[in-house]
Amino acid sequence: MSLRPRSGEQVPPLTAQVARASNPVGTTAIWVRDRLDGLWRDEDFADWYPRDGRPGLSPAQLATICVLQFLLGLSDRQAAEAVRCRIDFKYAMAVELDDPGFHHSVLTDFRDRLAEDDRADRLLDLALARLKEAPAWCASAPRSAPTPPTSWPRCAT
């Protein structure tokens, strides 16, 4: 499997329209996409994958799914099914509504790559640095937005 970067992806217009119409108050997945998009870029994972071979899934998307998986307490199978079936997960991943998703074992492979060396720490440091660069993301959340789970870090006020 090789990396073919796809950073900077916008949510397809129909996916955004249907996600907003079917979830007017929002969901955790929509909140994560709207507030945390851009924490990771595929290029951040370039040294995790070989340059040749069949193209793999976007590691930035997989990292986002792992965050949602943690927040919502989903198993690998449940997370993969959510990507296949839930509009808000398709929105969070910025994919078309007819995207077929992926096999649940992809998440295990991604976590195996994450566990090598100090990759998890580097990824967290990168996310924290990007959050510090854009502090307005906390203040931009409307008060009527869904409250993220209690395990989610709170913004300083």
Per-residue pLDDT tens for 53-111?
Answer: 666 678 888 888 988 998 899 999 999 999 999 999 999 999 999 999 999 999 998 88
Question: Across all residues in the chain, what is the average pLDDT?
Answer: 78
7 and 41 Cβ atoms separated by less than 8 Å: yes
* Planar angle of CA 8, 88, 14, nearest 5 degrees: 65
d(CA 31, CA 2): 30
pLDDT of residue 153: 42
In this predicted model, which residue has the larger pLDDT, 151 or 109?
109
Exposure b/e, 52-63, CB count within 10 A at least 16 = b = eeeebbbbbbbb
Higher pLDDT, 128 or 136: 128
Sorting pLDDT into bands at 50, 70 and 90, what band is 123?
A: confident
DSSP character at residue 155: P
Give alpha helix (H) positions in the chain.
Answer: 13-22, 28-36, 59-72, 76-85, 87-93, 105-115, 119-133, 136-139
Q: In whole angstroms, what is the distance from residue 133 CA to residue 65 CA? A: 23
CA 51, chain centre distance (Å): 23
Where would I find the H helices in 47-118? 59-72, 76-85, 87-93, 105-115
Assign 53 to helix, strand or coil: coil
pLDDT of 58 reads 82
